[in-house]
Amino acid sequence: MRMIDCDVLVVGVGPAGAAAARATAAAGLHTIAVDKRTEIGLPVQCAEFVPMPLMRTVHETLSRVQEVSGMLTVLPSGSAVHSEFPGLMIDRARFDQGLADLAESAGAEIWRKTQFRSWDGEVAQIQFDGEMIGVRPRFLLGADGPHSAVAAALGLPDQPVVFTRQYTVPLLQAYFDTDIFLSDAFPGGYAWLFPRGPVANLGLGADRRFESNLKAPLEALHQQMQDRGIVGAEILGRTGGAIPVGGIRPMVHERALLLGDAAGLTHPITGAGIPAAVISGEAAGQAAVAWLAGDGDALEEYAEDMTDQFGPALQRAVQRRLDLEAAWHKPAAQDDRVMRSGWIAFEEYFAA
């Protein structure tokens, strides 16, 4: 088996992995980043909304599509509540590709169509173009998503996930809100309509312990939006994926860190993960640089920083998920008050 040495091996070139690779390469470390996909960013498995604090990164990646100003939350009774919720709709493929381009410009090697297979603490086995290659990194960064092979190799169990299904459909009118639908038809999740210029992302997520058929409720929602004259009948694209909903998992391992979705930094209620991915990617890359330079506290400081930034919000979200589990497919799931307590747009969500 051919052997290659490097300073840092990054597994996964989504926002977290690309941000990490950029940071380590910019510090002069020989960085190899591998991704199993043929093309970075594709297929898109995302509703493509980011909050305003990510505007700098959106600008860097030339991925802006449009601004949104508010959120319209539709409760089980049909009552709709509007909230101010500014943000940006992006081209997620372009966002990921732009971050990868920035990492390459900083000096990182990105290997596409490359599968991480194993890690014994010294050598990572990766498969590229039918060849098994041994990579001996001084440090390993796992940024390979909710079903992280790196996390599994480090001995962690699978994360609990919500599964999603999404259509891209024509948008028949200019639209500047994100629409959220809370319903027992989407137990453990919610449905959404997010505008992207001439099209919209229409999708939903659900916990398969309560609902395994995502197609039927999405078809019903699509018809409902057609009847309201908001979207067209044509389905321009289909996608789906998994969102981790278990909260933060152990991030620090011997000569290795987890980041982004692989670290459980995705919000268990909203599914938002892009900001945490970029932030944790940059921080993990910097921690790897510092640790390799002799700072023995750098890895624990990374974990503490991520826990301080994201822990309280993620812990609250995990608890709200647990609270709602008692309601799904029961009369309580039709109660607007119960659903308000489980969604971020309402004061009840933040009550002790």
CB 63 within 8 A of CB 90: yes
Counting every residue written for the chain, the total comes to 352
pLDDT at residue 129, as a whole number: 87
Mean pLDDT for the stretch of residues 192-197: 97
What is the token pair recorded at 217? 């409720």
Write out the H or E segment, with its range, that includes residue 218. helix 215-227
Q: Phi first, then psi: what are they for 195, rounded to 5°?
A: -80, 140
Mean pLDDT, to the nearest integer, of 187-194? 97
Report the chain's mean pLDDT, rounded to a whole number. 96
Q: Would you state the pLDDT for residue 130?
A: 86
Neighbouring C-alpha atoms within 13 Å toward the C-beta of 20: 37
List, for residues 244-261, the tens digit of each pLDDT value.
999 999 999 999 999 999
CB neighbour burial string for 115-151, b if at least 16 within 10 angstroms, e if fewer = ebeebeeebbbbeeeeeebbbebebbbbbbbbebbbb
- What fold characterizes domain 2-347? FAD/NAD(P)-binding domain (3.50.50)
Tens of pLDDT, residue by residue over 104-148, are 999 999 999 999 999 999 999 999 988 999 999 999 999 999 999
pTM of the predicted protein model: 0.95
Q: Hey, what amino acid is at 74?
A: V
pLDDT tens digits for range 271-309: 999 999 999 999 999 999 999 999 999 999 999 999 999
Secondary structure tally for the chain: helices H, strands E: 8, 16
Q: Which residues pair with 9 in a beta bridge?
A: 32, 140
**How far is the C-alpha of 85 from the C-alpha of 167, rounded, in Å?**
23
Q: Do 236 and 199 meet the contact criterion of CB atoms below 8 Å apart? A: yes
CA angle 54, 60, 62 (to 5 degrees): 100
pLDDT of amino acid 318: 97
Q: N- to C-terminal Cα distance for the chain?
A: 56
Q: In terms of Cα–Cα distance, which of 291, 14, 247 is closest to 138?
A: 291
Torsion of the alpha carbons at 332, 336, 337 and 338, rounded to the nearest 10? 40
What is the residue-wise DSSP string for 151-192? HHHTTPPPPPEEEEEEEEEEB-S---EEEEE--TTSTTS-EE
pLDDT in tens, 61-101: 999 999 999 999 999 999 999 999 999 999 999 999 999 99
Give the start-to-end residue ranges of the domains of the chain: 2-347
CA neighbor of 259 nearest in space, from 33, 25, 28: 33
Residue with tokens 């909230």: 83
The rounded distance, in Å, linking the Cα atoms of 307 and 264 is: 11
Phi, psi at 35, each rounded to 5°: -145, 140
